[in-house]
Amino acid sequence: MVRVGIIGIGNMGTSHARNIFDKKVPGMQLTAVCDISEARRKFASEAFEGIEVFDNAEAMLDSGLIDAVIVAVPHYDHPTYAIEAFKRNIHVMIEKPAGVYTKQVKEMNEAAKNSDVVYGIMYNQRTNPVYQKLRDMINRGELGHIKRITWIITDWYRPQAYHDSSTWRSTWKTEGGGALINQNPHQLDLWQWLFGMPDRIYAKASFGKYYNIEVEDDVMAFLEYDNGTTGEYITSTGEAPGTNRLEVACDMGKIVIEDNSIIFHRNVISEREHNKINKEIFKKPECWKCEIPADFSGGEQHVGILKNFTNAIEKGTELLARGEEGINGLTISNAIHLSAWTGKTVDVKNFNDEEFYSLLQDKIKNSTVVKEERQVVADTSGTY
């Protein structure tokens, strides 16, 4: 059995704890948890009988009770506790995002190289068979050249009550961002997992457009690739009911993923080949509307990632989401922020870690939203 401890018994930490404690992850045993909130420690003691409860993460890491740790704390501290675990050769699963800024995540990845552990990240959307199917089609060349990618992901609705539910949410100082750093890491990871890293990004963002917060709640980004592919990424936490639609225009037609299904508007021949041989001024290539078969259940999500993590530790199975890959989606997120802050197109390949970090520190220093003025109604997520 892989003995696992969890740092942070908030919303996600509790969810992981329940899945493991209820034996939904074969080969993994919950043996310890840690939180600096007395209320969350009391909850954990009552909810998960027989485990050890700590108020200090280092004490849990040094206890000898765990072989692996799940880091489910506020974003800034993900690298901090991962690095402490690497020092002790404890296997690490970090929650998304990998961190808040690329500079700290590069330090975390470097620390991982110097340890002999399994290092994963909770990118549970990679378990979704719909995205796995699309990735397989792209890798097999079935789409031809990808011309345009448009992802509208605005169904992350979060009312003011959400932002007020915990003292660390929705400020530059304690969360490090809004929609991009909290709700969107999964889609930004899927973007690079499916299509690769863009070369340039230009973005506009609104900060506190819909809510009494200082971070972004509405974003539009334009992504460019050196091979001619372009992309649009549109996200918001202020739309209801919102949309989740991924559209991929390609030589062989158009893919649409919406409502967890895949529709391929498939050209009989590629548009480029049609363009070469066609002599009629308005004729389009013949196109078939095809529903691509896939498991539309959404996959095993968090449990699937934990199963894969356990098998990687016990059997050497390849990780579905390697921790080192967390830098990719975060770089896209940071580049969108940097472009929105500066009004400039950002070079993603040569992303300026120091410039982003410096501007983020200015945001923290000049924070204007005082948390206490928002009448925080609850703090059920714990300080971790």
Over the stretch 19-32, which tens digit does the pLDDT of each residue have? 999 999 999 999 99
| Residue that wins the pLDDT comparison between 294 and 128 | 128
- What pLDDT is attached to residue 360? 98
* Confidence band for 255, pLDDT divided at 50, 70 and 90: very high
Amino acid occupying residue 249: A
271 SS3 class: helix
pLDDT tens string 325-384:
999 999 999 999 999 999 999 999 999 999 999 999 999 998 875 555 443 333 334 433
Least confident of 72-81, 125-134, 367-376: 367-376
The answer to whether 244 and 205 have CB atoms below 8 angstroms apart is no
Tokens standing for residue 138: 């792209």
DSSP structural state of residue 336 = H
> Which residue ranges make up each domain of the chain?
2-125+300-320, 128-299+329-373
256: CB partners within 8 A, 6+ apart: 245, 246, 247, 248, 262, 263, 265
Q: What does CATH list as the number for 2-125+300-320?
A: 3.40.50.720
Q: Are 48 and 30 in contact (CB under 8 A)?
A: yes
Q: Where are the alpha helices (DSSP H) in the chain?
A: 11-21, 38-47, 57-61, 78-87, 102-113, 129-139, 160-163, 185-195, 271-277, 301-315, 326-342, 353-365
pTM above 0.85, yes or no: yes
CATH superfamily, domain at 128-299+329-373: Dihydrodipicolinate Reductase; domain 2 (3.30.360.10)
